[in-house]
Amino acid sequence: MRITPSILNADLANLASEISRIPDADAVHIDVMDNSFVPNLTLGLPVVESIRRHTDHMLDIHLMITDPDRWAPAYAEAGAESVTFHVEAAHAPVRLAREIRRLGARASMALSPATPIEVFESLLGEVDMVLLMTVEPGFGGQAFLDMVLPKIRATRRLIGDRDIWLQVDGGVSAETIARCAEAGADTFVAGSAVYRAADPNAIVTMLRETAQA
């Protein structure tokens, strides 16, 4: 069970120190939004390059952008260990996943809540992780969508015994994480649950224990 906190709800003017507050996280989840694929704008490549210089944590980049084919490889080149693109936005997802891997990062595909996994089943052979959105992408602090639970189960079945991580993102908290784990998720993004707490690292540990229970 991996906990990968999103810094979206952290103090974005103090990223290095915010990241240092979660030493026991398995990765730092960084949400890149372009105000086109989603109606919100966050940060991009120069900020990720700076973050890389300030932490040894695994960087888990979640690209919520149009034209990931053009931009995703640069994040791998910047030293991110994992780069996730949305299948709804990618023009040539097989080529893109292979390019990300060629550059030394884990390749990952994300699906918004209404996107069926079955359509993208053939891509499972090209990726190291599947990210299932459990809210509509764009904002932190939204309510978890229970309608995604059957898709988590279906994705776990399709993955079978392959070594592909299954990440859930959106509304993950002490209250919802057990349902996700039970359905087959093994990697959990939590944004507001972690960064709205007085002790973010304690929440990371608590979430991992709850997922494992």
Binding-site residue positions for substrate: 6, 62, 138-141, 169-171, 191-192
Of the residues 26, 34, 60, 169, only one is catalytic, namely 169
State yes or no: is 146 an active-site residue.
no
Q: Is the Cβ–Cβ distance between 81 and 116 less than 8 Å?
A: no
Cα separation, 108 vs 82, whole angstroms: 7
Query: According to the binding rule CB under 6 A, does residue 192 interact with ligand DX5?
Result: yes
Q: Please select the residue that binds ligand DX5; options are 142, 154, 186, 197, rule is CB under 6 A.
A: 142
What ranges in 20-127 are assigned the alpha helix state H? 45-54, 68-77, 93-102
Rg (CA), the chain: 16
**188 strand-pairing partners:** 3, 168
**60 strand-pairing partners:** 29, 82
Query: According to the binding rule CB under 5 A, does residue 169 interact with Zn ion?
Result: yes
Query: According to the binding rule CB under 5 A, does residue 60 interact with Zn ion?
Result: no
Residue 34 interface partner, choices ligand DX5, Zn ion, none, CB cut-off 5-8 Å depending on type: none
Q: Look at residue 204 and give its three-state secondary structure.
A: helix
- The residue of the chain with the least Cβ separation from Zn ion equals 62
Phi, psi of 4 (to 5 degrees): -125, 85
Number of residues in contact with ligand DX5, rule: CB under 6 A?
Answer: 22
Q: Look at residue 200 and give its three-state secondary structure.
A: helix
Q: Per the structure block, which two tokens stand in for 76?
A: 């791998």
Query: According to the binding rule CB under 6 A, does residue 191 interact with ligand DX5?
Result: yes
Residue closer to Zn ion (CB basis): 39 or 125: 39
Can you give the binding site for Zn ion, defined by CB under 5 A? 31, 62, 169
Can you give the binding site for ligand DX5, defined by CB under 6 A? 6, 8-9, 29, 31, 62, 135, 137-142, 169-172, 189-193
Instruction: Write out the catalytic residue numbers.
Output: 31, 169
